[in-house]
Every structure is written in C-alpha cells, then in structure tokens.
Copies of this chain bind each other. A is one copy, B any other.
Amino acid sequence: MSTFKKNANSAAAAVSLSRRNLLVGSTGAIASVGLMGLAPLSIAAEEPKSALPDYASWKDENAVIVHSANTLETRRDAIGSGVVTPSNHLYVRNNLPAPGNEIVADPDAWELRIEGVNTPATLTLAELKKIGIESVTAVLQCSGNGRQFFTHGPGGTQWGVGAAGCVVWTGVPLRDVVAKLGGVKDGMEYITGTGGETLPAGLDPKTIMVERSIPTRALDQAILAWELNDEALPLTHGGPLRLVIPGYYGVNNVKYVKQVAFTESQTDAKIQASGYRIRDVGVKGAPDQPSMWEMPVKSWVTTPLEKAGSGRNMIHGVAFGGNNPLDKVEVSIDGGSNWLEARLLGPDMGRFAWRPFVLAIDLAPGEYRIVSRASDSEGNAQPQERTENERGYGNASWSDHGLSLTVS
C-alpha cells in the first residue's frame, strides 16, 4: 500500500500546482481533490524561500522557511537556546487565507459569541478583558510537524522539526468566562471553537471552515488570548482573539475566534469529522478515529547542524512534556546505543512549556548520529519510531528527529 501511494504521489505532484494555488491552505479542499504527497522538490520550485506573505511580512526571513503563503516553518537552527520563541521566528499554519488587517484595527471591538452555557452571550474583547487574565507559556505545534520523515508520502506541508514554538499567551481563562455566564449546560461534552475567516465562495462551508471540537476536560487550561509574547496578538497568529488550548496541537487553537460553543457532539465540519484523524495509511478519515488533541512528550536536537569542529561541542535542543511536566532529556551521539543525560536550561515555565537543553561533549573527528529522547513526569518516554499514519501526524520519533553530524 505504501509503495503504491508513493508512486501515485509522484505523478500527482506534477499536476498539482494550479490546484494548490486555487485552494492553498485548505486541508479539506486539498484532500478532496486527492493531492496527497507533494514531493518537497515541487514545493520548493513553487515557493521561493524569501517570499514572505503580506500578512506575515514582519517575520524574520532568515529564521523561517516559506513553504507556502499559509505555511511558514521555523528553521531548526533558528530555534535558539532560550525558553521563548520570538514572535518573528514562530511558525505559521493557516487552514484558510488570513482575514484582512481591519479585524485587528480595533481589537477591543471584536465580538465573541458563547453558546452552550446557561446564559449565552455575545461579549466584546473589551468585556472579556474585565473578566479575568492569566499568562501561560506553552508549546504551539502543528499536528503535521515532522511529516517530512514519513516515507509513504503523506500530503500536506512537508514540515521538518520547526512547525513548533514555545510562546507566552495572555488572556482570560475560558473557565472564568463560563463561570460568569452561569456555567456549562448539562450534557455538553465538547468545546467547539469557530474561526472568523471569510469563507471562499462556491464551496460547501462545512468542507473548509475552521471549526474544531475538543473535550471539555480542556476547560481546565483553555484561554481566550489577546497577547502573544507580551504584544497585542497579531493577525498572523489569530489576532485579535484566539482560543488557546495549552498542551493541544495547533489546529485546536482557533484563530480570530468568533464563537465558542459547548456542545453535546463534535462539529461535523470536515476539519474535525475526517480531518486531523489518526488512521492507517490508505484509510479515509472518519469520526471514530483518534483526533489530534493532546500532544505527547517530544524533543529534538537543534544544533550543531551537519558539520562541527573536533573537541568540545555543545549539543542543543528543545524538549517538552506535552500535557505533563518534562522529566528529563537524554542525548545519544551514536544513534541511540548509548545515552547521556542533558542539562535543562533556564527557568521552568510550567508544564506546557518547552525547556531548552544542552549537552557539552568532546567529539573526535568522525561521523555521528545525534538523537535526543525526552520523558515526562508520568514515565512516558518519546518513542524510537513514529506511528505510521495516513496523514503523517503526531510524529514524536526520536530516531526521525535526530541529526547526522560530521566532525572534522
């Protein structure tokens, strides 16, 4: 099955460009015309490195890889050694083109509808700001981060390691808003957030709209955020208001959020019903498959890349526990035969944040395979191998995320 799909993908890549231009960024739409497995080569030809899209023109072009107008990746060597990813380095993944800048011109006027509570209401951002405030540092990571390591050719952006960052979100805890509105209605099992994108005409809205449902257990940590890294949340990252679920994959963090509804069932929008589902290669998405909700423990080495001098070297990387505090990170220079514990840097910013790590080691000339393996406070360890799946989601393999290094 895997071999068949790879061949099919290679053939599809050559004819995919015009359709991608029409439908760029719409996961549902791309899937519907069968463009699985674009080869990295065709993407590179289509999208030159430096072409930052207008809505993200403030990004550091030396720190990001532009996969498409809707997908910017942080370069592995731009991840740095501090605990917070600078906003201008942070990856972007939009499922639809970003709305116009006018929606951030007067942030306080933005309106959010809250449904599925005992007193449904429409609140402006100015009103939300008076209900409460919290600041949380959390990893934001795309479900497809690490997709390029899958060998069966899953479609979508060929993310390496950099569809992830660790940032500070500031906003009101969703639970505080809910408490003010009389609490969640009985029987509601999901938090369903709806994005404020303008939907392209001529397509069934359900196939393209960004509407995601997550279990109500996430109410403990969900916030409605209006600041990113201590600045007003930019349009590029979902401003003026984003539903942020620390510990959950990026897609659940609904941008320009216009409605949060507590619902009995998950939304039937395609991005939820069949999109972002873990299933075997070749199988279509369906609601009974696991959804991309909580992130597991993960780490990867960031530098040195490819070449280094002999003698003392500092091996850097980042690690996080997903929903649990990080316990430790081990590093191997021989592809996983022997392990040394790395040192975690800087302050611990809480269970949703990542920790930079470092291992100081003397290296003689030669070839090395540098890998890192994290484990969390519950004893969950990062697996050696990825879980193969149709769409290339949730790659936490320590083997895939390593670096080959030539020391001379």
Stretch at the interface among A37-45, A75-83, A147-155, A198-206: A75-83
CB distance from A263 to the nearest CB of B (A): 29
Q: Which of B82, B312, B313, B360 contacts A135 (CB 8 A)?
A: B82
Q: Which B residues are CB-close (under 8 A) to A311?
A: 130
Would A347 and B345 count as touching, CB distance under 8 A?
A: no
CB distance from A266 to the nearest CB of B (A): 31
Q: Which B residues are CB-close (under 8 A) to A86?
A: 87, 229-231
**Chain A to chain B contacts (Cβ below 8 Å), 24 pairs:** A80-B170, A80-B227, A81-B133, A81-B170, A81-B227, A82-B135, A82-B227, A83-B137, A84-B168, A86-B229, A86-B231, A130-B314, A131-B312, A132-B360, A133-B314, A133-B316, A134-B346, A135-B346, A135-B347, A137-B346, A168-B346, A170-B345, A170-B346, A347-B353
Would B360 and A83 count as touching, CB distance under 8 A?
A: no
Give the distance in Å from the alpha carbon of A129 to the alpha carbon of B304 in the complex: 12
Q: Which B residues are CB-close (under 8 A) to A84?
A: 84, 168, 229-230
Give the distance in Å from the alpha carbon of A394 to the alpha carbon of B202 in the complex: 64
Interfacial residues of chain A within 36-85, with CB under 8 A of chain B in the complex: 80-85
Bin chain A's interface residue count.
35 or more
Task: Give the 8 A-B CB pairs with smallest separation, nearest first.
Answer: A135-B346, A82-B230, A80-B230, A130-B312, A135-B345, A347-B349, A82-B168, A81-B170
CB distance from A74 to the nearest CB of B (A): 11
Tell me whether A358 is interfacial, beta carbon within 8 Å.
yes
Tell me whether A325 is interfacial, beta carbon within 8 Å.
no
If A82-B168, A227-B80, A227-B81 touch, whether A347 touches B137 (CB-CB below 8 Å) is yes
Would B231 and A80 count as touching, CB distance under 8 A?
A: yes
Q: Which of B129, B133, B312 contacts A345 (CB 8 A)?
A: B133
Give the distance in Å from the alpha carbon of A129 to the alpha carbon of B133 in the complex: 39
Interfacial residues of chain A within 226-273, with CB under 8 A of chain B in the complex: 227, 229-231
Tell me whether A383 is interfacial, beta carbon within 8 Å.
no
